[in-house]
A = this chain, B = another copy of it.
Amino acid sequence: MLLLKLEDSGKRTKSNQIVDGIRRKIESRDLLPSDRLPSTRRLAESLDIHRATVALAYQDLWALGFIDLRPGARPTVRERVPLAGASENKETPLIRWDLHVSLRSRRIRQSYLQYKALSTRGGSARSIIDFGSLDMDRRLFPVSAFRSCVNKVLRERGQALLSYGDAQGYPPLRETIAGRLRSHGISVNPGEILVTDGSQHAIDLVLRMIASPGKAVAIESPTYNVALPLLRFHGLRVLGIPVRDDGMDLAALESALGRERPALVYTIPNFQNPTGTNTTQAHRERLLSLCETYRVPILEDGFEEEMKYSGRVVLPVKSMDARGTVIYCGTFSKVLFPGVRIGWIAARSECLEHLLAIRRFSGLSTNGVLQAAMDEFCRNGSYDRHIGRMHRVFRKRMKGTLRELRKRLPPEWIEWSEPAGGYLIWLRLKPVPGPSPDWASLFPAHGLRVSPGETYFPSGRPSTFLRLSISTLDEEEITEGIRRFAGALNTIYGKGAS
């Protein structure tokens, strides 16, 4: 006889109370495997409830695996297969994930933990002035103009945009991107564009295409720090080519090309991350010519192509690339919204076809809604207006930053070169007499976050460089930040003078 007592409190449905009651009896072994439960009619009568309520409870118990149901027969208690969950030690995973995953996964997790620790060093207090982040100043975001675009495209083509889209990218957006690239001297058609989920995704796709055991990639040293763990994750050997004042050391590159035959040269010719360096036209020609000679493709990262606000920046390497040696990647993140996650690759179709196939099978496509909204935003002129504004604002902010640096920091402490655009200044600290200072805790103690140079070098060795980014800061914050920065350095370099 099945004894169940239902409450009338109304807090739990009667059906749920039956489920819990029977479940408890099975778990406590008051009901044993093969025991038969009452028919729905019988149990409903004994509890004075509707038969459908019992039927619902039995369905749930079946879905939960406690009973078997057969048409025309009374339910029976199931024999459950013993599972590890039933044992005492529920908290320890049965699989040792750190040993089960590949070595490269273990390593990239370590890199992630380090990266995270670094970008939150000093806490997240509002009073911290953050020269470390290359996020964008969200106060400048043209949110409502973008919202109108999203609205418009969803109203006009919502059904199509929410269906599976073109794996290569929304065709009108590819047209728009090809048009913008033409304004930078790059001659491509929309069939040579692949839309990606941002620039990092673009780099990942290119590395996936070329990576195989033993292959190497030549990079600038220092370079974009988020690319380094990714290169290692791909099992690629990293050939760091020193960056001089005028860009990658081409003699060193040539000897690496001859000796190591890398599968790719990765370069950021404009406002290089982290050094802020722009290479000259002559440097770009020699770089391309070298890579043509050795038949090694270039991955040109044009992440801030649109941020040439000084007017003295030459055209991309890709603009000279008549024979398809350059894979170019760009993004909307560094002049507009990082969170929109839309970037692109421009490459010869013989190359792009491979990238497209990898893209298709590793994630289908970029969402259509934001692609179409971004396209609308470009076509209705909002993007050009926004770029104009960003140029005005950051020309002024960068000028202010350099002025404050000159005013407060004597050349005996630190030196830097002046960038022609972008958001980055790369500083070299002068040698300090005596034991090396604890830079890592110095800046947070002065209410500052800066990006330490060593994360940008493939070797990861301690360096005397710092990267300042002004991308999230306004003029007032910059002035106050440089004041604090000078104060921090004064505790190191000022001692001797005092």
Contact = CB atoms under 8 A, between A and B. Distances in A.
A204 B81 contact: no
Given A102-B210, A210-B102, A362 B160 contact: no
A64 interface: yes
Interface stretch (A37-45, A123-131, A194-202, A458-466): A194-202
A16 interface: no
Interface string A222-243: 0000100110010000000000
Nearest to A143: B158
Contacts of A113: 357
29 contacts: A63-B313, A64-B185, A65-B282, A65-B284, A80-B285, A81-B282, A81-B288, A85-B320, A86-B322, A95-B297, A97-B348, A102-B212, A102-B215, A103-B212, A105-B209, A105-B358, A112-B361, A138-B162, A141-B162, A143-B154, A143-B159, A163-B339, A197-B367, A213-B213, A226-B361, A229-B361, A339-B367, A340-B369, A367-B370
Contact of A322 (B83, B204, B364): B83
A159 B147 contact: no
Contact of A81 (B285, B311, B338): B285
A109 interface: yes
A341 interface: yes
Contact of A369 (B59, B95, B339): B339
A325 B321 CA distance: 51
A397 B115 CA distance: 51
Given A105-B354, A139-B159, A161-B339, 20 more contacts: A65-B282, A82-B289, A83-B285, A86-B322, A90-B322, A92-B323, A94-B295, A100-B210, A102-B209, A102-B211, A102-B215, A108-B357, A109-B357, A111-B361, A112-B356, A143-B158, A144-B158, A146-B162, A147-B155, A367-B370
Interface in A310-336: 311-315, 320-325
A323 B165 contact: no
Contacts of A219: none
A361 B65 contact: no
Interface residues of A, number: 119
Copies of this chain present in the complex amount to: 2
A191 to B, nearest CB: 14
Given A109-B354, A162-B337, A339-B162, A94 B360 contact: no
Contacts of A358: 105, 108, 233
Nearest to A59: B311
A208 interface: yes
> Most B CB atoms within 10 A — which of A215, A229, A324?
A324
Interface string A34-69: 000000000000000000000000010011110000
A454 interface: no
Nearest to A290: B81
Contact of A93 (B105, B115, B154, B323): B323
Given A109-B354, A233-B358, A288-B83, A95 B295 contact: yes
A281 interface: yes
A164 B322 CA distance: 36
Given A63-B313, A63-B315, A164-B135, A325 B95 contact: yes
Contacts of A93: 323-325, 348, 350-351
